[in-house]
A and B are shown apart, each in its own frame.
Chain A
Amino acid sequence: LAKTTQPISMDSYEGQEVNITCSHNNIATNDYITWYQQFPSQGPRFIIQGYKTKVTNEVASLFIPADRKSSTLSLPRVSLSDTAVYYCLVGLNTGGFKTIFGAGTRLFVKA
Chain B
Amino acid sequence: EPEVTQTPSHQVTQMGQEVILRCVPISNHLYFYWYRQILGQKVEFLVSFYNNEISEKSEIFDDQFSVERPDGSNFTLKIRSTKLEDSAMYFCASGRDKPYEQYFGPGTRLTVT
B55 and chain A: residue at smallest CB distance = A96
Q: Which of B31, B43, B50, B103 is within 8 Å of A101, CB to CB?
A: B43
Cβ–Cβ < 8 Å partners of B104 in chain A: 42-45
- B35-55: which have CB < 8 Å to A? 35, 42-45, 48, 50, 55
Cα of A104 to Cα of B31 in the assembled complex, Å: 24
Task: Say yes or no: is A15 at the interface (Cβ < 8 Å to chain B).
Answer: no
Cα of A93 to Cα of B44 in the assembled complex, Å: 18
B105 and chain A: residue at smallest CB distance = A43
Determine, out of B14-22, B77-85, B92-100, the stretch whose residues face the partner at the interface. B92-100
B-side interface mostly: strand
A32 and chain B: residue at smallest CB distance = B100
What is the number of residues of chain A that contact chain B, defined by CB distance less than 8 Å? 26
Q: Is the CB of B43 within 8 A of A93?
A: no
Cβ–Cβ < 8 Å partners of B105 in chain A: 43
Known A-B contacts A43-B93, A97-B31, A98-B56; the reply to A89 vs B100 at CB < 8 A is: yes
Cβ–Cβ < 8 Å partners of B55 in chain A: 96-97
Cβ–Cβ < 8 Å partners of B48 in chain A: 96-99
| Distance from B94 Cβ to chain A, minimum over Cβ atoms (Å) | 11
**Residues of A in contact with B (beta carbons under 8 Å apart):** 32, 34, 38, 41-46, 49, 87, 89, 91-104
**Residues of B in contact with A (beta carbons under 8 Å apart):** 4, 31, 33, 35, 42-45, 48, 50, 55-56, 58, 89, 91, 93, 98-107
What 7 A-B pairs come out closest when comparing CB atoms? Answer: A43-B104, A96-B56, A97-B99, A97-B48, A101-B43, A98-B56, A43-B91
